[in-house]
Structure 1
Amino acid sequence: MTRPIDRRTAGKWLFAGAATAATAGLPRALLAQPAFPSKTLQLVVPYPAGGTTDVVARTLAHGLSARAPAPVIVENRPGGSSSIGTGFVARAAADGHTLLVTTGSTVTLLPHTQGLPFDPLKALAPVAELGRTPLFLYANPRIPAKDLKGLVAWMKANPGKITYGSYGQGTQGHFGGVILGKAAGVDMLHVPFQGGAPALQALVGGHVQLLIDAYQPAMEQVKAGRVLALAVSSPERSPYAPAVPTFRELGLPQVESISGFFGMFAPAATKPETVAALSRLVSGITASDAYRQSLAKLGVLPPQALGPAQMGQSIRQTHAAWAKFVRDIGYRHGDT
């Protein structure tokens, strides 16, 4: 990984690629355009620097820098439940030089829970998946059981005595607890936090008993014995945590729906041939061993090999599923 150019610009890392070496690796559709990218290629992350989405973007930028004849930067534009950075890209020139790197929930779930000022499905064009991210159910070791089956039995006998935290209301972490509770027939009290770090601190400190979140940074606490990992939402066990059973193994396949992904998006008006060329370029990087080894450190699974059209179809299906779920539970923005 390269380091920031300067601490005052922590949200921007510059990766300069060698033009002569890069040209050979570019798809023909891009080479047909004058020296594409003809100016700085900007990857916008709608979350703060240092988080998993940010690291995925910088890992991708490092790969792009070896192929692009122009600089590649990552710029963080956090805030507004991701709407600030997402809106910036949606309004950008549709020339393939300003791209969004974000979580799948930005386009599938948050439109139904966060009151975004625009429709991401209409404002953005899918380019490529960058990685898959299952969520884990973590527990404080002082819970009255050491596995999910035992915990569910205890909760049924002692309703309303377990709290679970999440990285925010109206998120996959929040709704994962709702889905788990319905599937297992138990009641849990949700406690939302402003991000994963304070939620994890609350779990370690015993202020909540359960937490639904991604692999990192909670898995470091698991390895240190301060937290238990009870289940994972992926269809198969994570290769990075093979001892953790899946919800499906435990008879709760409904919870798989909270799994997510990281993706790249362009402004909606970007020409299809530009989107296709970018997708091929990015897919070449995400298929590399170096990129996948970097993902492994984050606990992020390799992306699905989807073209822009397939990715768009998958997003629309997930978007519709979350819309129905939010309606069915009667959730409104601001609920906990």
Structure 2
Amino acid sequence: MTYSSNRRKLGAILGAAFALLAAAPAFAQAPSDKPVRIIVAGPPGGTLDVVSRLLSDGLQKELNQTVIVDSKPGAGGAVAVSDLMQSPHDGNTMIVTLDAIVSEIPHIVKLRFDMAKEIKPLVELARGGLVLVGNPAVPAKNLAGLIAYVKSNPGKVSYASYSAGTVSHIMGLQLNRAAGIDMAHVGYKGSPPALVDVVGGHVPLMFAGIPNAIPLVKAGKVVPYAVSLPQRSPNLPNVPTFAEVGYPQLEALAWVGLWITPDVPAAAQTRLRDAALKVMAQPAMRERLREFGLDAGQPRTPDELASTLRADFERNGAVLKSINFQPE
């Protein structure tokens, strides 16, 4: 199946999922003995699943309710969001997914709705960034050397992303523009196959999620050049940020959020947010996140999170528009 057909399939799934929005009812807040369900927009064992299970253990104690983690991967998060829409809007069902559900997906697939209005970010649970990595055969051990290498080999150096239209793709476009280079983009269907090809030397470079790249960096299978975080990653302390090496425009954060529907009663939203913030602020929780290559989320308000999403959406759109990228 081609990437184009996969994008059309994703569009169809998203459209069907959100056709349910008009019929999704809102209910009064449920009694406290009702189980809490966390819908995970990713597969078991993935980053979203790990964060959700760490959160669920703490929420069970804070809310004095049974907490169920329910993985619903697929269609860029549409399967999980569809499930959320069909569930009671009482604060006992929520979704854990990436900020990309609002800031990136609408640029990749045509939607018949405004994603930013259909789901609401309640808590930033964890955050991370990307790291530019290369196959060890690339004759450059730092970003300045890499840029010089690309310039000396015009049209011959490519970089992988985990999907076209995502920040993994966009960061390469930004580096091209900022450094005056011409890396070609190669889109994949997820990080694992892309990283496999980087390790195998089929594609020399990739903007990869830090949690996915850390084991390969530590094993010497890829060389890290710079991270997109505001500060160096504790897991990659010897790798500079892009800002440190002269490219502040490549700063980019990805965050895992706890989301609900906007019509959940205010009291239920406050109760859930306060409990989640308390759980994620625990030192043991922060250490566990660090082990997975993530930083603890910041206690930003829902309005602050929504503002960041709008800014990221606009910035991503502007970069993609510059290459005439079209959603399907």
Corresponding residue for 1:292? 286
Corresponding residue for 1:25? none
Deviation string, structure 1 residues 117-139 (Cα, Å, up to 9, x no partner): 54221111221000111110011
1:318 CA drift (Å): 2.1
Give 3-state SS (helix, strand or coil) of 1:216's partner: helix
Q: One-letter code of the match for 1:64?
A: L
Q: Contact conserved, 2:29 with 2:268, CA < 8 A, in 1?
A: no
Corresponding residue for 1:307? 301
1:319 CA drift (Å): 2.3
Q: Contact conserved, 2:232 with 2:241, CA < 8 A, in 1?
A: yes
Deviation string, structure 1 residues 153-186 (Cα, Å, up to 9, x no partner): 1111211111111111111111111111111111
Structure 2 gaps of 5+ residues are 1-27
Q: One-letter code of the match for 2:76?
A: S
Q: Contact conserved, 1:237 with 1:244, CA < 8 A, in 2?
A: yes
Q: Contact conserved, 2:30 with 2:92, CA < 8 A, in 1?
A: no
Give the alignment partner of residue 272 of structure 2, picking from 261, 278, 296: 278
Corresponding residue for 2:174? 179
The alignment status of 1:220 with 2:218, answered yes or no, reads no
Structure 2 CA distance for partners of 1:313 and 1:34, relative to 1, 3 Å: closer
Structure 2 CA distance for partners of 1:259 and 1:34, relative to 1, 3 Å: closer
Structure 1 gaps of 5+ residues are 1-32
Superposed counterparts of 1:80-159, under 5 Å: 80-116=75-111, 118-159=113-154
Corresponding residue for 2:243? 248
Cα distance between partner residues in 2 of 1:237 and 1:296? 13
1:322 CA drift (Å): 2.3
Q: TM-score with structure 2 length normalisation?
A: 0.87
Deviation string, structure 1 residues 239-268 (Cα, Å, up to 9, x no partner): 221100010011111111x32111011012
Q: Contact conserved, 2:63 with 2:275, CA < 8 A, in 1?
A: no
Corresponding residue for 2:48? 53
The alignment status of 1:269 with 2:266, answered yes or no, reads no
Corresponding residue for 1:8? none
Cα distance between partner residues in 1 of 2:74 and 2:111? 12
Corresponding residue for 1:12? none
Cα distance between partner residues in 2 of 1:330 and 1:278? 41
The alignment status of 1:40 with 2:35, answered yes or no, reads yes
Cα distance between partner residues in 1 of 2:176 and 2:250? 10
Q: Contact conserved, 1:36 with 1:68, CA < 8 A, in 2?
A: no
Give 3-state SS (helix, strand or coil) of 2:322's partner: helix
Q: TM-score with structure 1 length normalisation?
A: 0.85
Cα distance between partner residues in 1 of 2:64 and 2:203? 50
Give the alignment partner of residue 237 of structure 1, picking from 232, 236, 242: 232
1:35 CA drift (Å): 8.0
Deviation string, structure 1 residues 9-50 (Cα, Å, up to 9, x no partner): xxxxxxxxxxxxxxxxxxxxxxxx988543121111111111
1:204 CA drift (Å): 0.6
Cα distance between partner residues in 1 of 2:322 and 2:265? 37
Give 3-state SS (helix, strand or coil) of 1:217's partner: helix
**Once the two structures are aligned, what percentage of the paired residues are identical?**
37
Cα distance between partner residues in 2 of 1:249 and 1:309? 30
The number of residues matched between the two structures is 301
1:234 CA drift (Å): 0.6
Cα distance between partner residues in 2 of 1:244 and 1:172? 20
1:300 CA drift (Å): 0.7
Give the alignment partner of residue 160 of structure 1, picking from 155, 164, 186: 155
Cα distance between partner residues in 2 of 1:225 and 1:117? 45
Corresponding residue for 2:15? none
Cα RMSD (Å) of the superposition? Answer: 1.7
Give 3-state SS (helix, strand or coil) of 2:284's partner: helix
1:88 CA drift (Å): 2.0
